[in-house]
Amino acid sequence: MTRSPSERSPGSWFPTRRRAREGLRAALVPVVACSVALAGLTAWTSSGAAGSPPQIAAGNGRVLLPQGSSRETAAFFDITNIGGSEDQLTEVTSPGVEETLLSRRERAGLGADLVRTTDSVRVPAGDTVTMSPFDLSVTTRTKEMGWQAGDMVPFVLHFRYSAPIEVVAVVVRPGS
* 94 inside domain: yes
Q: Residue 4's pLDDT is what?
A: 57
In the chain, how many domains are there?
A: 2
pLDDT digits (tens, 9 = 90+) for 129-140: 999 988 999 999
* 167 inside domain: yes
| Total residues belonging to the chain | 176
Q: Are strands 136-142 and 97-109 parallel, antiparallel or unpaired?
A: antiparallel
Question: How far is Cα 87 from Cα 91, in angstroms, rounded to an integer?
Answer: 12
Q: Do 35 and 122 have their domain in common?
A: no
* pTM of the predicted protein model: 0.70
Residue 137 backbone dihedrals phi, psi, to 5 degrees: -155, 175
Q: Do 60 and 44 have their domain in common?
A: no
Q: Residue 38's pLDDT is what?
A: 83
Yes or no: say if 23 and 31 are a contact pair by the CB < 8 Å rule: no
* 11 inside domain: no
Residues spanned by the domain of 32: 16-50
| CA dihedral over 130, 133, 136, 142, signed as positive or negative | positive
Q: Do 93 and 138 have their domain in common?
A: yes
pLDDT digits (tens, 9 = 90+) for 36-69: 888 877 776 666 556 678 999 999 999 999 988 8
Q: Do 21 and 80 have their domain in common?
A: no
* 79 inside domain: yes
Residue 30 backbone dihedrals phi, psi, to 5 degrees: -65, -35
Q: Do 68 and 140 have their domain in common?
A: yes
pLDDT digits (tens, 9 = 90+) for 68-124: 888 899 999 999 999 888 999 999 999 989 999 999 988 777 777 777 889 999 999
Q: Do 74 and 133 have their domain in common?
A: yes
Q: Do 39 and 61 have their domain in common?
A: no
